[in-house]
Amino acid sequence: MNRIHKLFKEKGSRALSIYFTAGFPELESTMGIMEAIQRGGADIIEIGIPYSDPVADGPTIQDSNMIALENGISLKKIFEQLEDFREKISIPVVMMGYLNPIIQYGMEAFCEKCQEVGVDGLILPDLPMQQYLDEYKVLFEQYGLVNTFLISPQTSEKRIREIDENTSGFIYMVSSHSITGAKAGISDEQISYFERVKAMNLKNPRLIGFGISDSETFSKASEYSNGAIIGSAFIKTVKDSKNLSEDIQGYIQSLIN
């Protein structure tokens, strides 16, 4: 059983997924950050593949992408860093990124490498569903990778049901129609959207992302879904850290306790 399926079978609520940018703050930070995320008590690790034009991301993640690229990170380098990560990391690991660098690497070569090192799933925000169904679904399944699609407050019920039908990991609920970034609190408008999707009784688990940054927003999001994804606020913690391992574990503990 894929680790993501196993997680949601065993843990129906308050699942915490932490996103970080590979190669940030230093080129070789990747494994140390993953170990600290796991020790802190997170449930899923999302490895961001740096890209020169991350259009869905706010300034914090854009900045981390630029620094990682300047540090010399590449998909080839990320896979080298992940070579033996399953000796230390037991929780699900997802790779998140834009299509361009993956297609340049070669989609089948990418999927094969993900399986080889032990990656469980993919989040590719700019992958059109029809292209996934026509070209990549069989490939993802062949290499044991679950695929996650995103929905937003603007996504129609028909489209959400179509996404639910064609998702095999979890649904990424974008909390607002905006770029990524930590925001203060959760609005009534967002709660109305969360309630609407919850009432649809989808077959896939749902994680809420964009604007989740502290224990209050994590708990609120978890009332309406299976948990939440934290990215920008975590990147800020990493950027400001004087002791990465301690600060990462402390931040994650502050969210879940």
Among this protein's residues, is 216 annotated catalytic?
Answer: no
Residue 74: C-alpha distances to residues 78, 116, 204 (Å): 6, 18, 32
Q: Are 221 and 212 in contact (CB under 8 A)?
A: yes
What does the radius of gyration of the chain's CA atoms come to, in whole angstroms?
17
Residue 16: C-alpha distances to residues 75, 208, 214, 235, 256 (Å): 25, 10, 12, 15, 8
Q: Which residues pair with 207 in a beta bridge?
A: 172
Count of residues for the chain?
Answer: 257
Q: Which of 93, 72, 74, 102 lies closest to 20 in space, CA to CA?
A: 93
The one catalytic residue in 46, 165, 223, 246 is: 46
Query: 148 φ, ψ to 5°?
Result: -115, 130
d(CA 250, CA 20): 16
d(CA 49, CA 75): 7
Q: Are 30 and 83 in contact (CB under 8 A)?
A: no
The one catalytic residue in 57, 116, 120, 247 is: 57
Q: Quick one: how many helices (H) and strands (E) in the chain?
A: 13, 9
Residue keyed to tokens 């699609």: 149
Among this protein's residues, is 46 annotated catalytic?
Answer: yes
Catalytic residues: 46, 57
